[in-house]
Structures are given as C-alpha cells and as structure tokens.
Amino acid sequence: AEREAALKELEKKFSQYDTDSGSKVEAFTAEAIQKLRSRYEENKEAAINELIAHVLAVTPSIHRNVKSAS
C-alpha cells in the first residue's frame, strides 16, 4: 500500500510536469505559426510578382545536343 501511494504521488507529479511542458510547447507552436502567417502575408505579393517575372522572361535557345541540319 505504501509503494502504491508513492507510485501514485510520482504519477501525479510527472503528469503535472507533462501538462506544463505540453502547454508551453503549444504556446510556442501557436506563436511560431502566427509569425509564419504574418511573414507569408507580408511577402506573398512580392513572391507572386517574382514568380510571374520568371515565367514571363522567356529566352528561347537551341539545346546543345541538337545538331545543325547543314
């Protein structure tokens, strides 16, 4: 009975530790996600414009393995 009580006490102690750690991790994760969303919103327009510029900048060239017809 004495060992069971000690075991229950340890379980209670560590479950509280896990709960505290879990809430800290969740808070950190929520903050990190919020920062990522903020950075996404700030940079979204510039990223789209850069992608469009690269897509529209077409420079036709013949592949180096193509042999001339002459």
pTM attached to this predicted model: 0.51
Interatomic CA distance for residues 48 and 17, integer angstroms? 45
* Residues 39-70 pLDDT 10s: 999 999 999 999 999 999 999 888 888 887 65
Query: Whole-number mean pLDDT of the chain?
Result: 88
DSSP letter (8 states) at residue 65: T
Please report, for the chain, the start and end positions of each structural domain, with discontinuous segments joined by +.
Answer: 1-58
Interatomic CA distance for residues 17 and 11, integer angstroms? 10
**Whether residue 5 has pLDDT greater than 90:** no
**48 vs 2, 41, 52, CA distance in Å?**
67, 12, 6
Q: End-to-end CA distance of the chain, in Å?
A: 98
Query: Which residue type is seen at 12?
Result: K
